Structure 1
Amino acid sequence: MTERPSGANEVEDPMTEKHAGIRLPPRLLPFPRSISPEAGAALRRLVGEDGTPLNARHAMPPPEDHDAWRLLKAAADAQYAVAVKGLAGILRASARTMRIGESTIHVATPETPERTDCAYIDLHGGALVLGGGEACKAGARMQADQHGVVCYGVDYRMPPDHPYPAALDDCLAAYRHVLAHHAPANIVIGGRSAGGNLAVAMLLRGRDEGLPMPAAMVLLSPEVDLTESGDSFQVNRLADVVLPGSLMANNLLYAHGADLAHPYLSPLFGDLRGLPRAFIQSGTRDLFLSNAVRLHRTLRRSGVPAELHVFEAMPHGGFMGNTPEDRELADEVSRFVRSSWGAPA
């Protein structure tokens, strides 16, 4: 008779536990030697002396506690403000803010535009709750500098005060505005994390409403599955020092009772035929790696040209600094965007 592992749950079927998954022994996940010293240092800075990712010490409020979310947003805005001040003297593009209905858009213009007929739409990250305001404006200026074209940074409304579909409405309003000033084949839409979700969801909705597609989309670690059904949500839990655990509380707050599997919330599950060519990025330690891998395969099966770039040991959002890997990623994105201008939608 086989002895059951100590502490195992008692079940009637002896095969149930065996087939539930893979039992991993406790272990220390070492910092990899396969990445640059700069990237290794970035990982170390995000881990405490006890080996626990610093970000794992902060739990998100429950979806129904709106006051706690407002306090969290205020604290995050203060941190973003410090980060934006650190960019003083680095960003060269100018920016002005405009309103389109209820949508706020930061229009960033490079000092010396490479092309005046092209436009980049930037949808910021922040787990669908954070990252607006001055951080969004700074992001638009960064994209304008990088690509040498006017950039429209969409400062979309967010929960708890503005749940779904407010953000999607704002992104679509911004896209309609840009379409009125630029040919579709000269527009690229980029989104990081939550912004990647909104980029694909907005194009699905825009297609459904009869809008033309842009030239391309750049999706950096896109959050395209709010149900969190992918393999990496388990495999990379805590291995991702930037995003060490589930964002389900954020997702439920954003959805406000809507079905998380709806394509406008989780565009991975939509009909992706007819979408523009895509650049998708992730890392082997990114909690959202499965999002990128599954989206790439779904786009390919749908007849959409798509590049997938996965970086060694990279956590969610990159290595947060001036590492060789971050520079290589930026170069790849710039190449893709420049090759997309004028491409057929």
Structure 2
Amino acid sequence: MADDVRGAEALLVPARFIPLPSHVSDAARAYLGPFPELQAYPGIDDLDAWRAYVNSSEQAILPLLRHINGRAAVTSEVETRAVGEAGVFLITPRDLPAEDRGVILEFHGGGLITCAGELCELMGTGLAARLNRRVWAVDYRMPPDHPYPAALDDGVTVYRALLQERAPQEIVVSGGSAGGNLAAAVMLRARDEGLPLPAGVILNTPELDLTESGDSFHTNLGIDPGLRSLMPVNLLYAGGHDLSHPYLSPLFGDLADFPPTLLTSGTRDLYLSNTVRMHRALRKAGVPAQLHLLEAGAHTGFPGSPEGDEINREISRFLEAVW
């Protein structure tokens, strides 16, 4: 995202208060403020500082995820498996019918650098409980120690392994935020490598453009609580590769033959442009694509709210349609 957009092709808007909308639920309003204080990014070459940044970020997130999703763990059976260099949490709801063979291959969010290990497992068990579906949650390698293409390599390796156990039509690939980037990038590379593609793809508030060229990176900056430009992280993740390459920014890829896709975002999401541009690009490529936007929705939506439940119902309908 450009730091200096002054000039004839930019608008100067007045400082103003943005009210919290009264027509959304109390649970949704709670997500919209006050904003948390965010850590400063380390210098791009200071890997020790990045390791400390990742650790402190994960320690801040962990209690919240344990509170939100910890109880979901008792409703599922979890098996841990190593697949290549990645870890995978195989999560099966205890009351899932034996004949249900569908698997959601899930790539966790976390800005491409956080939410490994227990955090990945908690996100996966929460997803399995909300949708009552079997989940393979991919614990992929991340910077600062494992920049691109490590995470993408892991994703493709796990997808290949899943194809040994399930037919493509029994698989849906999913990801939110940074996980949406990987879900889409894995699909592009799987197609390029001649692998059969899954029944569908779910992209929740996805980070599909690491160049941050979309309009909402400016219009929703400071309005989306807790999310800002991730450009230093994007550069760390890319490891010197071109940010516009489709395996890094799937928005710019050839989307021919992409699977049917459901996309979600909100009107306050910093990644709103990513989502709506990807939706239009998919439609232009002839891919069946659904777009669901939440009024006042911030990045990651409104989990645990009536609005979040609406999105979960749409995802369940999508799964039923493609499976």
The match for 1:143 is 127
Q: Report if aligned partners of 2:131, 2:312 keep a CA contact under 8 Å in 1.
A: no
SS in 2 for 1:287: coil
Aligned to 2:36: 54
Distance in 1 separating the partners of 2:43 and 2:173: 32
C-alpha spacing 1:149/1:26, structure 2 compared with 1 (3 Å): closer
1:148 to partner: Cα distance? 3.1
Show structure 1 runs of 4+ deviating over 4 A. none
The 2-side partners of 1:24 and 1:326 are apart by 32
Rg: which structure is higher? Answer: 1
Q: What are the superposed Cα offsets for residues 287-327 of structure 1, whole Å, 9 maximum, x if unpaired?
A: 000000100000000010000011111110113x4211111
How high is the TM-score relative to the length of structure 2? 0.94
SS of structure 2 residue aligned to 1:116: coil
Alpha-carbon distance in 1 for matches of 2:296, 2:159: 34
The Cα shift of 1:17 comes to 6.9
Is 2:314 the counterpart of 1:325?
Answer: no
RMSD (Å) for aligned C-alpha atoms: 1.6
Q: Which amino acid aligns with 2:210?
A: L
Aligned partners of 2:271 and 2:197: how far apart in 1? 26
The answer to whether residue 113 in structure 2 is matched with residue 129 in structure 1 is yes
Counterpart of 1:70 in structure 2 is: 51
Partner deviation per Cα, 1:110-134 (whole Å, 9 max, x = no partner): 1022343211101000010011110
Q: CA deviation at 1:64?
A: 1.4
Corresponding pairs, count: 316
Gaps of at least 5 residues in structure 1 are 1-15, 48-52
Closer, same or farther: CA 18–127 of 1 in aligned 2, 3 Å = closer
Structure 2 Cα separation of the partners of residues 96 and 84 of structure 1: 19
Question: Counterparts of 2:169 and 2:190 in 1: how far apart (Å)?
Answer: 15
Q: Which residue of 2 aligns with 1:292?
A: 275
Q: Does 1:26 align with 2:26?
A: no
1:182-240 alpha-carbon deviations (Å, 9 max, x no partner): 11011001100000000110110000000001000010001000000000000000010
Q: Evaluate the alpha carbon distance shift between residue 289 and residue 148 of structure 1 in structure 2; reply closer, same or farther with a 3 A threshold.
A: same
Task: Decide whether the 8 Å contact of 2:31 with 2:225 is kept in 1.
Answer: no
Superposed CA deviations along residues 251-279 of structure 1, whole A, max 9, x for unmatched, are: 00000000000000000000001010000
The answer to whether 1:117 aligns with 2:101 is yes
Q: What does residue 236 of structure 2 align with?
A: 253
Supply the AA of the counterpart residue of 1:66: L
- The one-character-per-residue Cα deviations of 1:60-98 (angstroms, maximum 9, x if unpaired) are 223212111111111122233323432333331121111
| CA distance 1:30–1:172, change in 2 (3 Å) | same
- For residues 96 and 80 of structure 1, the distance between their equivalents in structure 2, rounded to whole angstroms, comes to 23
Give SS of 2:72's match. Answer: coil
| 2:320 matched residue in structure 1 | 338
Letter paired with 2:204: L
Deviates more, 1:18-27 or 1:101-110: 18-27
Structure 1 residue aligned with 2:293, among 310, 315, 338?
Answer: 310
Does the aligned pair in 2 maintain the 1:34–1:312 contact within 8 Å? no
- Sequence identity (%): 45
CA contact 2:265–2:271 (8 Å) conserved in 1: yes
Which of 79, 84, 88 is equivalent to 1:101? 84
**What TM-score comes out, normalization by structure 1 length?**
0.88
